[in-house]
Structure 1
Amino acid sequence: MAAPPQGMAAPPPDAAPGPEPATRSEESIALEGYYARVQAGLLDRGLLRTDSGGTDAPFTDTDLARNFRQIAFFEEYSSVGGQLVQKETESLLHRWEGPVRMEVTFGRAVDLETRARDGQAIAEYADRLARVTGHPIRQVSSGGNFHVFVLYEDERREIGPELRRIIPRLDDTAVATVENLPRSSYCLVFAWDPQNDGVYTKAVAVIRAEHPDLFRLSCIHEELAQGLGLANDSPFARPSIFNDDEEFGLLTTHDEMLLKMLFDKRLRPGMSADEARPIIDQMAAELAGGTS
């Protein structure tokens, strides 16, 4: 569920209060079948776990500190030749300083049952993120600054004008990344740092409506957490959703610790990894010093 780096926010132009009669393309219907097979394959291999790890996935404070540095101080994607490509680059600490207001928008073809299920899941997850981080995070019906879109293929491909309306300075690379999302990218999130000082003020997450329920919920958990400032993945992070192996589908206790560290007042946006290292080590020891 990889997520490109900082850059934007928005709702789709054709969002409407209720779903229209079937307007989906054959491509979207084929994708729905494909992702159902992907989820089934992952579950058959014991992946997309919904627990927090337990005794089979131990971690120490040293592990936690290492994982935080890798996930919070690196970007997973870089702009190369006008395209966003998966290329890890070092960054400064990013997070939100103001309240986070998550606004959910569904594509017109998304059915009422999915809207109800996902809307409730996002509201509950926003409350959980607020409790974990100690930061004001909530779902709103309008006036959001963190936009979450659940869209079918055709709807996502038409989102460009709305993205530019929300962030007028948004570049073509960012728009093209959303509109031309390859099948191998399950979902994505962008966050915007307008002053280039490490402070996010807007974000947008795009979730494919073609995904089956658990896969869609997994995308929601990862992208909304990454959009708060945990922008990278690490193959060493376990038990964690910030790992492309898809072992864990939902936020774990380990990940909650990462979020607590991200919003700890001892850190500040714009800090480098070297500057933050002693603070990170101290926080990790406080949170996981007894974990083995």
Structure 2
Amino acid sequence: MRRLALSAALVLSACGAPPEVSKSAPPTLVVDPLPGMKSFATAEMPATRRGNAELARDFLELSFSMESGRALPVFTRFEGPITVALTGAAPATAQVDLARLLARMRAEARLDVRQVNGPASITIEFVPRDEMRRLVPAAACFVVPRLSSFAEYRATRHKAQVDWTTLTVRERVAIFVPSDTSPQEVRDCLHEEMAQAMGPLNDLYRLSDSVFNDDNFHTVLTGFDMLMLRATYAPELRSGMTREEVARVLPGVLARINPRGEPVGVAAPMPTPRAWVDAIEQSLGPGSSLNRRRASALKALRIARAEGWRDSRLGFSYFALARLSLADEIEVAVTGFAEAARIYRSLPEGEIHAAHIDMQMAAFALSSGQAAEALELCDRAIPVVRRSENAALLATLLMIRSEALGLEGRSSDARAARLDSLGWARYGFGPDAEVRARMSEIAVLTPPGNRG
């Protein structure tokens, strides 16, 4: 499931909560009406660069375990063509984003999947967020087996019927998505939950190039994810196979569908202790005080160091601690972000993670009046974020860039960047009030009296 608390760190809370726009926003922020919503053009994500031995290990771990750590006794998938239907109060953007996703799945993963109007293999129902939270408070969206409606889920949520470990083949799956959230959150839910409805059910924090990772840095399916889905539906596999049976045929599957991955091999990844996962989830989850969450982040960082990790898990440990230190431990936050950025930049697939940190550091630079540094950070991150199709992060970077240009007295460039940001913000943040609140939050970072 896509977890609310682990969304990708668009926080900026070190610089204060956003004021009421009508009272505090500078005059330059008045844009009425807002420009039209922008969206990303259809694009194919780069293929994974991993070797097949590594991919095989990842596939087995993703396909034979749940996020909770419970083992799945057999391999399951849909057998035959897969159909998808939308029900409920689907937002206008959902149909477009679903069509793009299905087109990518057909082209990149070679899946036999199409949308229908009637009963379907996968039913995506749009439900008011508050109604979803009453049953599953920590999830932005989620997927369950053997159902086709939220009413069915309400009646069966505590029964074995919705237990993935009891499946031998997938026939019906339901995905529940909030009907009253931003277009980007809807799209992100479609990508993550469709991938798990059709393919692997696990998430692994060590995967830096995948949506099968609860750090949520990636918002759309990557080349790695499409390869995992393609392998899932390889003719050599079938529902009901054991882990050992899948492991025997998987090398041949990967050699056929990913010839560039031969004969590359890497050392087996170090296992992730459950204690680290629990500490990370406690640090970023709801329901605890800031001090308790920060203590959990520190525990996760201690475990990561003790394990000797140098991968994305260590980077995310620093990142989590930095996020939780923004409000009152600025030096800890800056040091944590810097360490996380150093680690992510050393990884082949770490550029989007580093771009998130560049946004935070650009905000710090802007708040201290360092316009040139803020612009450099934004200009480095923006191309990466465009490629990863994260409109909320892109809009935030463009807003910071606009303020930095204003500090340098480049008023026309500042206005152009601001207008560009608003089209993306409408997709990334949704309602006009949310867009204006984000504008105001960025605007108050600019030191008083320094606006161009």
TM category (shorter chain) comes to: 0.5 to 0.7
Paired letter, 2:250: I
Whole-Å separation in 2 of the counterparts to 1:225 and 1:134: 14
Root-mean-square deviation over aligned CA pairs: 3.2
Would you say 1:67 and 2:80 are equivalent positions? no
2:227 is aligned, of 241, 246, 257, to 257
Paired letter, 1:219: C
Counterpart of 2:184 in structure 1 is 214
Paired letter, 1:191: P
Deviation at 1:101, TM superposition (A): 1.6
Deviation at 1:285, TM superposition (A): 3.3
Q: Which TM-score applies when normalising by structure 2? A: 0.43
Whole-Å separation in 2 of the counterparts to 1:146 and 1:251: 18
Instruction: Please show how residues 27-46 of structure 1 align to structure 2 within 5 Å.
Output: 38=7, 41=10
Are the counterparts in 1 of residues 8 and 217 from structure 2 also a CA contact under 8 Å? no
Structure 2 residue runs of 5 or longer lacking an equivalent are 14-42, 148-160, 265-452
Deviation at 1:89, TM superposition (A): 2.0
Whole-Å separation in 2 of the counterparts to 1:278 and 1:137: 27
Counterpart of 1:145 in structure 2 is 121
Deviation at 1:226, TM superposition (A): 0.7
Instruction: Please show how residues 222-261 of structure 1 align to structure 2 within 5 Å.
Output: 222-261=192-231
Would you say 1:181 and 2:136 are equivalent positions? yes
Larger radius of gyration: 2
Whole-Å separation in 2 of the counterparts to 1:222 and 1:42: 22
Whole-Å separation in 2 of the counterparts to 1:285 and 1:181: 40
Higher strand proportion (structure 1 or 2): 1
- Higher mean C-alpha deviation, range 130-139 or range 257-266: 130-139
The number of residues matched between the two structures is 216
Moved over 6 A (4+): none
2:246 is aligned, of 276, 281, 290, to 276
Deviation at 1:133, TM superposition (A): 4.1
Whole-Å separation in 2 of the counterparts to 1:122 and 1:218: 10
Whole-Å separation in 1 of the counterparts to 2:69 and 2:246: 23
Are the counterparts in 2 of residues 103 and 144 from structure 1 also a CA contact under 8 Å? yes
Distance change in 2, residues 1:266/1:236 (3 Å):
same
State, as a whole percentage, how many aligned pairs show the same letter: 24
Are the counterparts in 1 of residues 8 and 216 from structure 2 also a CA contact under 8 Å? no
Paired letter, 2:83: R
Paired letter, 1:185: A
1:200 is paired with a residue whose SS is coil
Deviation at 1:123, TM superposition (A): 2.4
Paired letter, 2:96: Q
Q: Name the structure, 1 or 2, with higher relative contact order (CA <8 Å, separation 6+).
A: 1
Paired letter, 1:122: L
Whole-Å separation in 1 of the counterparts to 2:209 and 2:12: 17
Paired letter, 1:186: A
Whole-Å separation in 1 of the counterparts to 2:129 and 2:72: 32
Instruction: Please show how residues 82-231 of structure 1 align to structure 2 within 5 Å.
Output: 86-107=68-89, 115-156=91-132, 180-182=135-137, 184-192=138-146, 198-231=168-201
Whole-Å separation in 2 of the counterparts to 1:200 and 1:43: 42
Whole-Å separation in 1 of the counterparts to 2:107 and 2:168: 22
Distance change in 2, residues 1:290/1:98 (3 Å):
closer
Counterpart of 2:150 in structure 1 is none
Are the counterparts in 2 of residues 102 and 139 from structure 1 also a CA contact under 8 Å? yes
Deviation at 1:202, TM superposition (A): 0.5
Whole-Å separation in 1 of the counterparts to 2:177 and 2:77: 21
2:236 is aligned, of 251, 257, 266, to 266
Deviations 1:133-179 (A, max 9, x none): 4443111122223110222124547xxxxxxxxxxxxxxxxxxxxx5
Deviation at 1:53, TM superposition (A): 6.5
Higher helix proportion (structure 1 or 2): 2
Distance change in 2, residues 1:240/1:43 (3 Å):
farther
1:265 is paired with a residue whose SS is coil
Deviation at 1:238, TM superposition (A): 3.3
2:115 is paired with a residue whose SS is strand
Are the counterparts in 1 of residues 125 and 174 from structure 2 also a CA contact under 8 Å? yes
Are the counterparts in 1 of residues 169 and 239 from structure 2 also a CA contact under 8 Å? yes
Deviations 1:234-278 (A, max 9, x none): 123331111111121111111111111100010111111111112
Distance change in 2, residues 1:259/1:43 (3 Å):
farther
Whole-Å separation in 2 of the counterparts to 1:132 and 1:38: 26
Deviation at 1:42, TM superposition (A): 7.2
Are the counterparts in 1 of residues 7 and 216 from structure 2 also a CA contact under 8 Å? no
